[in-house]
Structures are given as C-alpha cells and as structure tokens.
Amino acid sequence: MKRRTAIKLVSAGLLGTRQASAQWQVSSREPVTELAAGARLHRLSVSGEDSADLSVVVFDSRRCTLRVLDQDGTGGTRRLGAMMSETGAIAGVNAGFFTPEFQPLGLVISDGKRVGTWMRSSLLGGVVLVKRGKLMLLWRDEMGTADGVSQLVQAGPRLVNHGEPVTGLDATKERSRTFIATDNAGLWAIGPCEYSSLAGLAGILSAPGLIPGFEINRALNFDGGKSSGLWCKTASGEAIYESEIATVRNFVGVFPRP
C-alpha cells in the first residue's frame, strides 16, 4: 500500500462528526489474512478528500486476551517483532507514551507488576485493562480501583465513543497513528494507520463498513509517529512485521486464551 496523507477534518458538533465519518469510504482491500485463534489481519485503504492506509488485527476476546509487555526503565532495546515472537503472541502493537527518560507516561501494569503513576491529564483519556480475566476499554473517569487488574496501559486521547468521532481532536498534525478499538460486544481491533490527524483517524474508525461485521463503539489512541508498528503471525506461521522506527517502552500483545 502507498502511504499518503489523510484528510484534515474539523469536528464541530454531532452533525459535523457524522459527516466526518460518512465521507470516509473503503477504496481498496487486500485479501484477509488468517491468524491463530480466529484472529484476522485486514489491510485496507480509505479515501475521502485524501486517503490513508490501515492494517487492522481483529480478534474475539472470548478466544484471545491482551498482555502488556513492558521494558524496564533502563532503556530497553527489544523491538516489537522480537518481543512478540519470543513471548508467543499472535499479534502486537506499540502501546503507551513514555518520557525522554524512558519512563511510562501514566499507569502501566504488566503481568501484575505496576509501574508509572495514574494521571488525570486529558491526553490520557482512556485505559485498556484486563481485570479478573475480562478485557475492557474504559474512559479515565470510569476507572475504579486496580484490584484484580493483571494488565493495564493508560493512553489517549479518546477517538470514538458510542460509535461517533470524539469532538475537539486536532485536525492538523498528520503522522503515523496506532489505535485500539472495540465493539463492546467481544470484538477488538489493534493496528496502525498511515497517515492521519487525530480527528481524521476518529472519522475513519467510526465510518460504517470499515471492517465487515465489526462496528466500532469505542476507540483509543496509542503512541504514534516513530513508535507505530505492527507484528503478527499468520496461521501458517509466517511473520508479518510493519516495523516501528523508535525504541518504545511498552507493547500490547494478543495471546490465545489458555
């Protein structure tokens, strides 16, 4: 797929958000790639006044779960591909933000180990977590205690809520993006988008028919730019790697449920 600039959108009220999502349409799709545990890789291009390319791994939380894979604060050097391959993941992407000192920006819980600090910044408007085995995407103010949480990463901003693009997102800064999304009925998606503003990505993800059989209810932005990457392994064992450029602090990986 060619990497091209995504449309600049300005969201202004509910009518404006609906128009923003409606003007995005799928212009081409590659054949779906089957991964393990029923997961699938969708590669597609969308167009409006301009265009963008997406690689989206869709999985069912009844068959798969997420783990947060965190590198320590000494400046870990493991890449996304190596981390996913070594841990037996089906797929994975880069996850949360981090400081120049390689410390997590916001709270991170990896296999029960807690690092970082819960933040109430508008930048970190959502949280992906596994609590007592249940995978959830919550908004910041919905988060209760961390009791029973084995995996968690705080990120943002929010992109889609109740199937509609979130208003007030920046429409001018176009770059690689990474996101996580759910239909709130068991289906989930992770992946990168090349290239888009935050407002543009919100419009894309809320566009009807983006992924057949999967209408996104909520979507959250992960770290992007040079951090954006995707790794997955096909059902036949072939690795597909859209490599990140920068070394990142943490990742989320998709794993089969035991």
Q: Which residue type occupies 227?
A: S
How far apart CA 130 and CA 60 sit, in angstroms, is 14
Distance CA 258, CA 256 (A): 6
* Average pLDDT, integer, range 229-247: 97
Above 50 in pLDDT, residue 13? Answer: no
At residue 4, the pLDDT reads: 39
Can you tell me the distance from the alpha carbon of 121 to that of 223, in angstroms, rounded to the nearest whole number? 15
Strands 51-60 and 64-70: unpaired
- Given this model, what pLDDT does residue 75 score? 57
The model's confidence at residue 221, banded by pLDDT at 50, 70 and 90, is very high
Of 5-14, 89-98, 106-115, 134-143, where does mean pLDDT reach its minimum? Answer: 5-14
Q: Quickly list H helices, the chain.
A: 13-22, 80-87, 198-205
Within 10 angstroms of residue 17's Cβ, the number of other Cβ atoms is 24
Lowest mean pLDDT among 16-30, 40-54, 174-188: 16-30
Average pLDDT for 73-81? 78
Res 50: pLDDT = 75
Radius of gyration for the alpha carbons in the chain, expressed in angstroms and rounded = 17
| Structure confidence at residue 72 (pLDDT) | 77
Give the closest residue to 157 by CA, choosing from 207, 202, 110, 109.
202
- Give residue 49's pLDDT band: very low, low, confident or very high (50, 70, 90): low
Q: Please tell me the pTM assigned to this model.
A: 0.90
Averaged pLDDT, 154-176? 96
- Per-residue confidence (pLDDT) for residue 14, from 0 to 100: 41
Q: Where do the domains of the chain lie?
A: 13-256
